[in-house]
Amino acid sequence: MNLRSALLVMSICIFNHVSAQDDIVIPEDKKSLNISRTDKAPKIDGVLNEAIWENAEIATNFISFRPEIGEKRAYEERTEVKLAYDDQAIYVAAYLYDDPTKMMTQLVNRDNFGQTDFFAVVFNPNNDAQNDTQFFVFSSGQQADAIANPTIGEDFSWNAVWQSAVQIVDDGWIVEIKIPYRTLRFTDQQDPTWGLQFHRQFRRERAQYTWNPIDPTKGNIGLYHGELTGLKNIKPPVRLNLYPFSTGIVNSFDGDTETDLTFGMDVKYGITDNFTLDATLVPDFSQAGFDNVVLNLGPFEQTFSEQRQFFTEGVELFSKGNLFFSRRVGNRPSGTLDLDDNEEANVPNEVKVLNAVKVSGRTKKGLGVGIFNAITETTEATITNTDTGEKRREVVEPFTNYNILVVDQQFNGNSSISLINTNVLREGEFRDANATALVANIQNKRNTYVINAEAKMSNVNYQVADNETGYSSFFYIGKSHGNLRYSFDHRFADTKYNINDLGLIFRNNFNNFGADVWYQIFEPKGNLNSYRINAWVNYRNLAERGALGTFTGINFGGRYFAQTKNLNGYGFRFNIEPGKQYDYFESRDGRPFIFEDIVSGGGFYSSNYNNKFAIDVELNLFKILEDGRDLFGYNFEFRPRFRFSDKLLAVYGLDLNMSNGSRGYATNVDVQGPDDAVDNIPIFGERNRLRLTNSLSANYSFNPFNTLALTFRHYWDTVDYDRELFTLLDNGRLTTDSGYTINNVGDSPNINFSTWNIDLSYSWQFAPGSFLTALYRNQLFNFDERSEDNYSESLNTLFDQPIQHTLSLRLQYFIDFNGIKNVFKKRNSSQSQLGNMNSERDFNIFTNNTLP
């Protein structure tokens, strides 16, 4: 710890020195746009014929920052934007001049940019340069939205309900937007100044322009916002949104059919002007996508990305310090079973989430607070006596409470300090866990240098054994401006650091140092729009002994990436691990496994996606140069994509991976020692492995509100071991002297593994925020020892397995509390008008929105 403290103090001194010496400053000039109040809300139809648009102030003279910096567009391709507001919303009108025959208008899913021109408006009600709310409208009529800050970048998992319309006209396209105040977080304001920015992209060139100029060579993008003035006496509304839903499910597997009908509701409630409660009551995640399961031969767990919307949306605060891995909530049970030889167990694949709640927000002074809580139910395994048929049940996951508390203070428009605590409380004698992190992300005021630092502590209470407390740290210092940049980092975790009850760490016990340097251009040069060259070196150790621990390995390498002016991308890379490398985890018992001199390299090519046909190709090779070893392998990826029309896109994927002569853990055997003690020893093997993945994704969008999507994946993996197997010596080398073969170690370690998934879905947004989704999926799985089978034989075996069919229909409806208030207000103000309302009008008022 003393060494790390000294490094921290020294680096801060260096940081302060370079900050004082640097004379680069962010320009203070900012454009300003004065907004006008309207007494009559414009109709959101893309036709700018309302009186408010005739005299509204115009934002124009957009400036490029990609690929060129500081260029203006031709007059006939100019951009003109106007704003207005009333007591309910901000309205945006944008006239985007262009030649319609050159525009790109691919229809895509929400939050998917595709090959489409877009216009975006960005608001920052706190005007703090760090907390933006972004709204995108595409020339196809589709929407995207995100929240953004320097720590997380852009988070498109955040979704709001707002209104937009697009009209294609002879001299370009028109966008009209209504952004209700419930989509923004701000305090009661009499005469505020908000941060404001507009973006426009010409997709055919991937050229992007902004209203207020941006310098991409330094600082985060929020520092370059202009200012919005003229808002008077706006009040944040009651932010209460309800999303009731119902899902009907039919499951069929191996002749058994089950049906289920569930009801639940998601709730978003503005506790204060800046803080929101998100809750999912009786959650239903039945339509979350399949995980891309692969055969895992390594010593660490296999994990998958989060696909449940509640756990992906609005979690930027909870991601601080990387202590939160949301798949832990509702994952497989954590308990283990002690079974007799004549018993077998049926253990559920997941634990049911009873409910989950998030409270998060940020004050005008930059103080962010996040509170997360989730509860999962008691889960039992069914254990069957194979001799008598008698069954018993045993708890494998008790009633469990997951909690997170985050406090994050932002300052200087580019920096923050955070304190994060997570804890997991399990009922009974199951383990509990707690983790705490202090995180700092600091840039100097000139945005030229950055320091990221983390100090973490974990504690696991095993109930029936001693507690374990572990520590981890991370430190990074780097130059963050200009063409040439560099950084240094240090990562540490002791042997007891463990956050895996609610977080994710694949391994602890490391003490690693790294350095990176890179050079990049920000404007076109020659035939290239951009390129980047970077190099790295990493020095790895265990943390268990000495000031630097025990050496485990070193690697260095480089990478080159470039994009041409024709929008084709290509690149290549290499990596070298010279000399002896010590893997202390492959053995599963803490002894090192030594390998030497591995080299790898490869390259890729990606053609311009603007073309109807495009391809992505990547090839990587690796080779070991160790005496007595003959390891060689490659992985090849080929992804052609074809845009049949602006409504239909299909992408095929072929991934082929081969390695011959690799060595690793194969199985274990029980050996009785001279004192009659039984040792479980690892057995290694030399293996040939072949993996083949075929995938297909296709989307047909009838319009921005109706989409048909297909996803297919078949994964096939074979592992074939040489007959002779190895035992691991204490010096890290392998030997065949023990006489083990694949025929005398019990079950054969050879593997033939295959999975098959199909998802076919139809989604209809029948009202703002309201969806009807129909989903059909099927799944096949096979695992056996027939590694000698070829692809065709393996596929036939897979189709002989029972297939799981799932059909589900989900209805979700959006209700805005302010819409309900409007209904009653109109009833009280005009009884006669109420009698004339038809059902369609009632529906639109109730949702406080209409479809574009």
pLDDT value of residue 672: 76
Q: Is the pLDDT of residue 578 over 90?
A: yes
Residue 646 has pLDDT above 70, yes or no: yes
Place of tokens 């093997």: 685
Query: Which CATH number fits the domain 31-229, given the four candidates 3.40.50.300, 3.30.300.30, 2.40.40.20, 2.60.40.1190?
Result: 2.60.40.1190
Residue 26, pLDDT > 70, answer no
* Mean predicted confidence (pLDDT) in 186-193: 87
Read off the pLDDT of residues 428-465 as tens digits, 9 standing for 90 and up: 989 999 999 999 999 998 899 999 999 999 999 998 77
Q: Residue 9 above 60 pLDDT?
A: no
Report which secondary-structure segment, H or E, holds 310. helix 309-312
Q: With 80 as the cut, is the pLDDT of residue 675 above it? A: no
State pLDDT tens for residues 703-744. 999 999 999 999 999 999 999 999 999 999 999 999 999 999
CA distance 496 to 494: 6
Is residue 800 predicted with pLDDT exceeding 70?
yes
For the chain, the structural domain boundaries read: 31-229, 568-813, 815-847
Confidence of residue 654 (pLDDT cuts 50, 70, 90): very high
Q: 3, 2, 6, 28: which is closest to 445 by C-alpha?
A: 28
Q: How confident is the model at residue 189 (pLDDT cuts 50, 70, 90)?
A: confident
| pTM for the whole structure | 0.89
- 526: Cβ contacts below 8 Å, ≥ 6 apart: none
The β-bridge relationship of strands 79-85 and 275-281 is unpaired
DSSP for 199-245 reads EEEETTTTEEEESS---TTSS-GGGG-EEEE---SB-PPP-EEEEEE
Range with lowest mean pLDDT among 258-262, 294-298, 315-319: 315-319
Neighbouring CB atoms inside 10 A of 570's CB total 16
Closest CA to 54 of 75, 80, 32: 80
Res. 262: pLDDT tops 50: yes
pLDDT of res. 187: 84
Strand pairing class (32-34; 226-229)? parallel
> Which of the two residues, 846 and 786, has the higher pLDDT score?
786
One-letter amino acid at 252 equals S
Amino acid at 163: Q
Helix (H, G, I), strand (E, B) or coil at 464: coil
Burial of residue 92, with CB atoms counted within 10 A of its CB: 0-12 exposed, 13-18 middle, 19 or more buried:
buried
Residue 4: predicted pLDDT:
44
Phi-psi region of 205 (alpha: psi -120 to 50; beta: other; left: phi over 0): alpha
